[in-house]
Amino acid sequence: MKIAIASDHAGIEMKEAFVNLLSEFGHECLDFGSKNFESVDYPDFAEKVSKEVSEGNYDRGILICGTGIGMAITANKFPNIRAALCNDMYSAKMSRCHNDANILTIGGRIVGKDLAKEILKVWLNTEFEGGRHSRRLLKIKSIEEKKFQK
Ligand code: RB5
């Protein structure tokens, strides 16, 4: 898959580990920053990745900040984005099976290295189940469309 990834200063180490893992797993990945530990604002980085996924230029996105919360709040402002905060494996699996999440957000200050790798693997490799869950996603889409028609 084509994957866009970014973090703020609190997620740099996890982002670098993920960039290496993604290429090891055979995905094409582009790093949208941040590139150093200088304090930055997470919405700026959430915007870069969310825009790319929203416009269909990338299949999926990954956003890392201290908790993953700010990245999720920001990413879900963009049309076509279903960003899921997954700091555990069950959420990562269900965000794909039931919600067809196209952006993973994760907390660089919360999740340890080994767990983060497992969360990434399950999130990349779990398919959307469709069926009744598709109906629910259509309802989300219709709420989104009402919002953008205002
Ligand atoms: C930065 O200190 C921190 O607020 C940010 O990384 C994130 O956790 C916000 O949700």
Show the CA angle centred on residue 48, arms to residues 116 and 33, nearest 5°. 55
Q: Which among 29, 65, 86, 133 is annotated as catalytic?
A: 65
Q: Is 86 a catalytic residue?
A: no
Q: What residues flank ligand 1, with Cβ below 6 Å? A: 8, 10, 42, 65-67, 69-70
pTM of the model: 0.97
Residue 24: strand pairing partners? none
Give residue limits of the domains in the chain: 2-149
Q: Which residue is listed with tokens 């870069």?
A: 48
Q: So what's the pLDDT on residue 121?
A: 98
**Residue-by-residue pLDDT tens, the chain, 150 positions:** 999 999 999 999 999 999 999 999 999 999 999 998 999 999 999 999 999 999 999 999 999 999 999 999 999 999 999 999 999 999 999 999 999 999 999 999 999 999 999 999 999 999 999 999 999 999 999 999 987 676
Q: Six-digit token pair at 136? A: 């629910």
Q: Is 9 a catalytic residue?
A: no
HSE, side-chain direction, 13 A CA sphere, residue 130? 1
Q: Which among 9, 27, 98, 133 is annotated as catalytic?
A: 98
- φ/ψ region of 107 (left if φ > 0, alpha if ψ in -120 to 50, else beta) reads beta
2-149: CATH homologous superfamily? Sugar-phosphate isomerase, RpiB/LacA/LacB (3.40.1400.10)
